């Protein structure tokens, strides 16, 4: 299915470029390449571009999946690192342990 989507996208890009050329310069690239707008080959290209647009219309309503890009890990398995690039973060679980902050002789004061 991925190959069909890529072919449809390529045909839509060709059609979009063709419409841009028509709008800006009044020049039909497909017609000039394939023998005019009434030529059979031009009509085939126009038809394929139209079918590709209908096919890609269904892709518009497909939900986007973030894990589709080659990694099988979900969001739950990501290990995010919130440390800074300058130094290591201190472990917040040891902040209540006063023996780590002050030497033995300073605790009696």
Tens digits of per-residue pLDDT, 59-104? 888 887 766 555 555 555 566 666 666 666 666 666 665 555 555 5
Q: And the tokens for 12?
A: 């839509």
Q: What is the pTM of this model?
A: 0.55
3-state secondary structure of 33: helix
Other CB atoms within 10 Å distance of the CB of residue 96: 8
Dihedral sign computed on CA atoms, order 80, 85, 88, 91: negative
Mean pLDDT of the chain: 77
Alpha helices in the chain (DSSP H): 2-25, 29-34, 40-60, 104-107
Compute φ and ψ for 71, nearest 5 degrees: -105, 135
């Amino acid at each position: 299915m991925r190959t069909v989507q890529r072919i449809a996208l390529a045909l839509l890009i060709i059609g979009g470029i063709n419409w841009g050329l028509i709008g800006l310069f009044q020049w039909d690239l497909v017609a000039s390449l394939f023998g005019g707008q009434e030529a059979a080959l031009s009509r085939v290209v126009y038809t394929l571009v139209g079918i590709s647009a209908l096919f890609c219309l269904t892709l518009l309503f497909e939900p986007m999946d973030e894990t589709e890009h080659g990694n099988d890990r979900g969001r739950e398995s990501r290990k995010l690192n919130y440390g800074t690039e300058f130094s290591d973060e201190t472990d917040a679980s040891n902040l209540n342990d006063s023996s780590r902050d002050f030497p033995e002789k300073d605790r009696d004061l």
